[in-house]
Amino acid sequence: MGIGTMELMIVAGVILLLFGNRLPKVMRSLGQGIVEFKRGVQGIEDESVADSPNDLK
């Protein structure tokens, strides 16, 4: 007995009722956090690629 579509719709409706006016701010903050995380990971990858040729010598 898993969670069905109707139950998910009810949960989504309750979330919208409770957090409707704050939801755009929360989603914007979440998106910015994801972008910053990706930039950080990319920076680490760039540093490791730049360091790799020096390590081989």
Task: Output the pLDDT for position 39.
Answer: 92
Q: Model pTM?
A: 0.53
Task: Output the pLDDT for position 31.
Answer: 96
Residue type present at position 54:
N
**Nearest 10 degrees: Cα torsion 16, 17, 21, 27:** -20
11-46 confidence digits (pLDDT tens): 999 988 988 889 889 889 999 999 999 999 888 877
Q: Give the span between the Cα atoms of 50 and 20, in whole angstroms.
A: 46
5-14 confidence digits (pLDDT tens): 999 999 999 9
Tokens for 49? Answer: 């690629």
Cβ contact 23:16 at 8 Å: yes
Q: Does pLDDT of 51 surpass 70?
A: no
Task: Output the pLDDT for position 20.
Answer: 86
